[in-house]
Amino acid sequence: MAESSSVLDTLLQLGDSALIASQRLCERFGQAPTLAQDQQWLSIGMELLEQSRQWLEYAAELLNDGRDADQLAFLRDARQFHNLVILEQPHSNPLQAGLCHWLYDGWHQARLSTLQLSPLPLLAITARRALPQVRAHWQHANQWLLDASAQDRPGLQHALDQLWPLCQGVPPDNPDTDDKGIDRSWRMPLKAALTRAGLAPPRLAPASQSRDHAHLQAVLQPLQGVARTAPHHRW
């Protein structure tokens, strides 16, 4: 029972995080400085949406309570979501939005890299299939960070100071991995990329991981609007 609960938590964390990250990218569509960048954001958002569907389908099978992936995505309340807290934070500017997605991509790659070695085929096979896409997302986000101009660095550093504490205590690995292993698999690559971009990870105490559900509800409202208005509609 404990193992089943742990697997369900993992499935919901991955599915919900990909869903919210996809919605955040959709919010940014039309705001890129180039058409190519807009197209890239949309492509990544669609890939994350498909990954979310797969994880939530597996979660629905494990729950076995009559709900499917669509109902998990569109009919749950904000308090029932398991996404990373960092993804639901309001974005005051495009730099903060981009940096938030960059942090998520780093976590996502490390999480799937660990899960592809899971003894559970359900987790291992799905993680292995998604990993090439997620690695490409991480490379794209890294290039975005490196391409930022010197004029953008103060704004990026300010955004990093706000977002970095929310990364503390978020495990990309399994529960048996020690802190040093977690640091090597996730935070060390992030810190190396920040150094190349001329930024420095702030040394701050870990932030509370308690959720402000109002933030998540603001993200879910446009995402869930149609499904909640016409829950029995069939396309």
Most confident of 87-96, 122-131, 150-159: 122-131
Q: Could you tell me the domains of the chain?
A: 2-229 (1.20.1260.10)
In sequence order, the 6+-apart residues with CB closer than 8 A to the CB of 227 are 70, 73, 74, 75
- Cβ–Cβ < 8 Å for 152, 86: no
Q: How many CB atoms lie within 10 A of CB 107?
A: 23
Give the mean model confidence (pLDDT) for residues 208-234. Answer: 71
Q: Is 159 exposed, middle or buried (CB count within 10 Å of its CB: 0-12, 13-18, 19+)? A: buried
pLDDT at position 47 is 96
User: Which of these, 85, 47, 79, lies nearest to 167 by C-alpha position?
Assistant: 85
What pTM does this model have? 0.86
Based on DSSP, count helices (H) and strands (E) in the chain, helices before strands.
9, 0
Q: What is the pLDDT of residues 59-97, one digit of tens each?
A: 999 999 999 998 999 989 889 999 998 898 888 788 888
- Cβ–Cβ < 8 Å for 124, 118: yes
Confidence band, pLDDT 50/70/90 cuts, at residue 133:
very high
Q: Is 217 exposed, middle or buried (CB count within 10 Å of its CB: 0-12, 13-18, 19+)? A: middle
Lowest mean pLDDT among 29-33, 191-195, 216-220: 29-33
Q: What percent of the chain is modeled with pLDDT above 70?
A: 81
Lowest mean pLDDT among 6-10, 63-67, 169-173, 197-201: 169-173
Q: What is the pLDDT of residues 168-191, one digit of tens each?
A: 656 554 444 433 444 556 777 888
Residue 154 has pLDDT above 50, yes or no: yes
User: Which of these, 206, 200, 97, 93, lies nearest to 141 by C-alpha position?
Assistant: 97
At 81, list the tokens.
Answer: 């979501």
Lowest mean pLDDT among 108-112, 127-131, 136-140, 203-207: 203-207
Confidence band, pLDDT 50/70/90 cuts, at residue 207:
low
pLDDT at position 40 is 84
pLDDT at position 130 is 96
Lowest mean pLDDT among 13-17, 28-32, 199-203: 28-32
